[in-house]
């Protein structure tokens, strides 16, 4: 069936046999084509015309069973809605609930989309979940027949994997995002070919641009551009398209080349082997995607003064402002423990820190708050404004024009070592301690008792070597001090005006100063010779073999602690990536070196 034949026959199915003029208005086809096609459709037995109805040969004019059979290959099987991701660009609201569950113009985004699909006759709806998945479970009761698929790797892989986990459902399928808002219902129950919804823009954007071929199908895809058709909204895959796309993703499943990319990149790289995909351009004002709270506020004025967000209420209360004053949200790359974002109030920038899931088991927020107050009092961290010790959120000043130290720069090392010497000489004290060896033992106990154990076959040997280093340090004269205990480069800010600021005091407490030196050495991945130079600079004239051993030993000890901590965080669902391996390497490198060098 040609596209024009489909367009006309489907219009007859939806509206019945109207006048030629009316069918022209519905389809955009010429009157001559419509007149000729109506005769052909009648001869094929696809429709009953008005004359047949008058003669009593059928009840009423319209499409026949044979006509429906001709349309059957184009019948939409289902819709697959992706709702697995965290939508980090949509902070702060996405930190509290999935973006698809936001209420926009008095309707829940995903519910509005489901209702539109049902209205179009799409009865099978598949929902793929990941982040805060339980928040969507109520939809099963509200929409009987809704199918839920879980993507357990939503936080480590991109939406290519989200589609892959639902591969058995994808046929003649709409592929949708849970957070799209359609002013008009864009769905149909019969579709001729694969297409990607688009909007024509005349300005430069960072969106995906589709360049058409001679037939109006996607000829090339480019990330960012100027005037053109950008990807916006839903997509439709035919069975043929779905089969080939799913084979591409299946072939890649074990290799993982596409794990970190959007499926649109897979499309861009495989246009030559995929069936044609039409660029279906919609008028402006039909499809909306909200990439930030600021964009949502432009669309729904209800979000200007009241976002239903506890985070926004926290900010407004601390900074004595209205929610409408809080603007220009920008996520900071997720840290190992928390997620943070930058925002502005009356021209000043601030940072909001949101605690990571599971951290309450290993971090005392009350201790952190006290540590922040001490650090601010001696000028080591002047950025601190406020922290809630019950919930763990924190607000700080944002410092412009800063950089983190380079592990390759000894001049940078001198700057931060001066801060550490000053911190340790203050002889501040708190009523709790950071004890990496003992704390690692507690986390190990949790891992073995509650998290399924430890898979590392070298773990016991590593633990034994680190313990020998720890035992030799006892009674060597190095006294406990108030320490930061998490001094890796991203927690330092080197300002252009000469200031050196140390932030994020979650693990601070009374500790061995070796915790501060060892943590920086650990993250640098330095060989022993480089670490010795670092230690000698810190110790100055007091440097000797005892201190040399002590601080190298604490490099092994804190590396071991962070390795065990990382095992716990991954057991809680966090993604530690290469860091976990690096900490294992440094714990092994320094403990083995010291055991062999000193005959322990």
**Mean pLDDT of the 432-443 span:** 94
> How much is the average pLDDT of 290-298?
88
Task: Tell me the mean pLDDT in the region 268-283.
Answer: 95
Picking from 525, 513, 462, 463, the residue whose alpha carbon sits closest to that of residue 488 is 525
Residue 60 binned pLDDT confidence (cut-offs 50, 70, 90): low
The DSSP line for 379-432 is: TS-TTEEEE-TTT--EEEEPPSSEEPPPTT-HHHHHHHHHHHHHHHHT----S-
Per-residue pLDDT, averaged over 476-482, amounts to 95
Structure token digits, residue 60? 């009423």
The residue written with tokens 């190298």 in the block is: 552
Instruction: Please give the Cα distance from 412 to 161 (Å, whole number).
Output: 41
Fold classification of 3-72 (topology level) = Arc Repressor Mutant, subunit A (1.10.10)
pLDDT, the chain, mean = 92
Per-residue model confidence (pLDDT) at position 291: 86
Homologous superfamily assigned to 404-597: Aminoglycoside phosphotransferase (APH), C-terminal lobe (3.90.1200.10)
- In the predicted structure, residue 33 carries a pLDDT above the cut 90: yes
Q: What is the 3-state secondary structure (H, E, C) of 147-209?
A: EEEECCCCCCCCHHHHHHCCHHHCCCEEEEECCCEECCCCCCCECCCCEEEEEEECCCEEEEE
Q: φ, ψ for residue 403 (rounded to 5)?
A: -140, 160
pLDDT score at 415: 96
Report pTM: 0.75
CB 377 within 8 A of CB 389: no
CA–CA dist 47, 13 (Å, integer): 9
Mean pLDDT of 369-381: 95
> In this predicted structure, what is the pLDDT of residue 357?
62
Q: What is the pLDDT of residue 362?
A: 62
Mean pLDDT, rounded, for 187-215: 94
> Which pLDDT does position 340 carry in this prediction?
87
> Does residue 91 surpass a pLDDT of 90?
no
User: Which is nearest to 208 in space by CA: 227, 198, 221, 218?
Assistant: 221
Q: What is the pLDDT of residue 356?
A: 66
**What is the Cα 448 distance to its own chain's centre?**
29
Instruction: Give the mean model confidence (pLDDT) for residues 299-304.
Output: 86
Residue 427 pLDDT greater than 90, yes or no: no
Q: Identify the residue with better confidence: 274 or 356.
A: 274
In this predicted structure, the answer to whether residue 336 has a pLDDT above a threshold of 60 is: no
Check whether 334 has a pLDDT greater than 70.
no
Please check the confidence at residue 164 and state whether its pLDDT lies above 90.
yes
Query: What value does the CA radius of gyration of the chain take, rounded to a whole number of Å?
Result: 31
Q: What's the start-to-end Cα distance of the chain, in Å?
A: 82
The pLDDT of residue 358 is 56
Average pLDDT over residues 468-486: 96
CA distances from 321 to 327, 353, 395 (A): 11, 18, 14
CA distance 67 to 51: 18
CA distances from 361 to 355, 356, 507, 568 (A): 12, 11, 13, 10
Beta pairing class for 228-237 and 205-212: antiparallel
Percent of the chain with pLDDT over 90: 77
Alpha-carbon torsion 489, 490, 496, 497, what sign?
A: negative
Which has the higher per-residue pLDDT, 444 or 17? 444
Angstrom distance (rounded) from CA 246 to CA 231:
20
In the chain, % of residues over pLDDT 70: 96
Maximum C-alpha span of the chain: 112
* Residue 337 pLDDT exceeds 60: no
Domain boundaries, the chain: 3-72, 75-288, 309-398, 404-597
pLDDT at 459 over 90: yes
Residue 333: is its pLDDT beyond 80? no
Can you give the pLDDT at residue 359?
56
**pLDDT top residue among 305 and 379:** 379
In this structure, which CATH number among 1.10.8.60, 1.10.1030.10, 3.30.200.20, 3.40.47.40 belongs to the domain 309-398?
Answer: 3.30.200.20
Q: What is the per-residue pLDDT for 486?
A: 92
Taking only the tens place, the pLDDT of each residue in 380-421 is 999 999 999 888 899 999 999 899 999 999 999 999 999 999
- Give, in order, the Cα–Cα distances in Å from 571 to each of 149, 265, 334, 436, 566: 22, 31, 18, 19, 8
Query: Could you tell me the pLDDT band of residue 56, with boundaries at 50, 70 and 90?
Result: very low
pLDDT at 53: 47
- Average of per-residue pLDDT across 144-154: 92
Architecture, CATH, for domain 75-288: Alpha-Beta Complex (3.90)
Residue 506 has pLDDT above 60, yes or no: yes
Give the pLDDT score at 130: 93
Arithmetic mean of pLDDT, 444-470 = 95
Residue 464 CB: number of other CB atoms within 10 A?
11
pLDDT band at 155 (very low <50, low <70, confident <90, very high): confident
């Amino acid at each position: 069936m040609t596209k024009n034949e489909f367009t006309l026959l489907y219009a007859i199915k939806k509206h019945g046999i109207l006048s030629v003029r009316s069918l022209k208005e519905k389809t955009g086809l010429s009157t001559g084509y419509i007149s000729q096609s109506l005769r052909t459709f009648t001869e094929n037995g696809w429709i009953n015309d008005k004359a047949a109805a008058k003669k009593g040969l059928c009840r009423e004019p319209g499409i026949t069973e044979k006509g429906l059979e001709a349309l059957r290959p184009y019948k939409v099987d289902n819709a697959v809605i992706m709702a697995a991701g965290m939508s980090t660009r949509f902070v702060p609201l996405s930190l509290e609930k999935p973006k698809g569950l936001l209420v926009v113009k008095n309707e829940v985004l995903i519910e509005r989309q489901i209702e539109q699909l049902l209205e179009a006759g799409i009865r099978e709806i598949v929902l793929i979940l990941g982040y805060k998945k339980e928040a969507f479970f109520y939809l099963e009761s509200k929409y009987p027949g809704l199918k839920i698929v879980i993507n357990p790797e939503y936080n480590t892989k991109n939406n290519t994997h989200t589609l892959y986990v639902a591969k058995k459902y994808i046929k003649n399928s709409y592929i949708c995002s849970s957070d799209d808002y359609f002013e008009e219902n864009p769905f149909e129950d019969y579709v001729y070919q694969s297409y990607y919804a688009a909007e024509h823009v005349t300005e430069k954007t960072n969106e995906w641009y589709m360049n058409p071929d001679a037939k109006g199908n996607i000829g090339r895809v480019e990330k960012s551009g100027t005037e053109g058709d950008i990807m916006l909204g839903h997509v439709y895959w035919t069975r043929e398209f779905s089969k080939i796309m799913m084979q591409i993703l299946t072939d890649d499943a074990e290799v993982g080349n596409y794990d970190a990319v959007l499926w649109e990149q897979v499309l861009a790289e495989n246009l030559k082997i995929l069936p044609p995909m039409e660029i279906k351009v919609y008028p402006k004002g039909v499809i909306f995607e909200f990439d930030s709270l600021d964009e949502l506020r432009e669309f729904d004025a209800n979000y200007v003064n009241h976002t239903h967000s506890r985070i926004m209420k926290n900010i407004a209360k601390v900074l004595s402002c209205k929610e409408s004053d809080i603007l220009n949200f920008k996520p900071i790359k997720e840290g190992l423990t928390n997620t943070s974002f930058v925002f502005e109030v009356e021209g000043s920038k601030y940072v909001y820190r949101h605690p990571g899931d599971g951290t309450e088991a290993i971090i005392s927020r009350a201790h952190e708050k006290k540590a922040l107050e001490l650090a601010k009092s001696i000028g080591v961290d002047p950025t601190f404004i406020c922290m809630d010790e019950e919930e763990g959120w924190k607000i700080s000043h944002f410092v412009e024009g800063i950089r983190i130290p380079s592990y390759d720069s000894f001049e940078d090392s001198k700057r931060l070592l001066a801060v550490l010497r000053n911190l340790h000489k203050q002889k501040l004290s708190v009523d709790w301690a950071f004890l990496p060896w003992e704390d690692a033992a507690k986390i190990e106990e949790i891992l073995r008792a509650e998290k399924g154990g430890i898979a590392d076959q070298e773990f016991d040997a590593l633990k034994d070597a680190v313990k020998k280093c720890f035992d030799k340090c006892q009674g060597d004269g190095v006294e406990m001090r108030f320490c930061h205990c998490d001094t890796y480069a991203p927690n330092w800010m080197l300002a252009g005006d000469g200031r050196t600021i140390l932030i994020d005091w979650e693990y601070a407490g009374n500790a061995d100063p070796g915790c501060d030196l060892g943590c920086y050495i650990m993250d640098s991945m330095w060989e022993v010779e480089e670490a010795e130079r670092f230690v000698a600079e810190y110790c100055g004239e007091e440097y000797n073999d005892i201190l040399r051993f002590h601080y190298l030993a604490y490099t092994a000890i804190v590396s071991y602690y962070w390795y065990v901590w990382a095992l716990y965080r991954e057991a809680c669902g966090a993604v530690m990536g290469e860091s976990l391996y690096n900490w294992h390497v440094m714990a092994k490198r320094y403990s083995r070196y010291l055991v062999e060098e000193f005959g322990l």
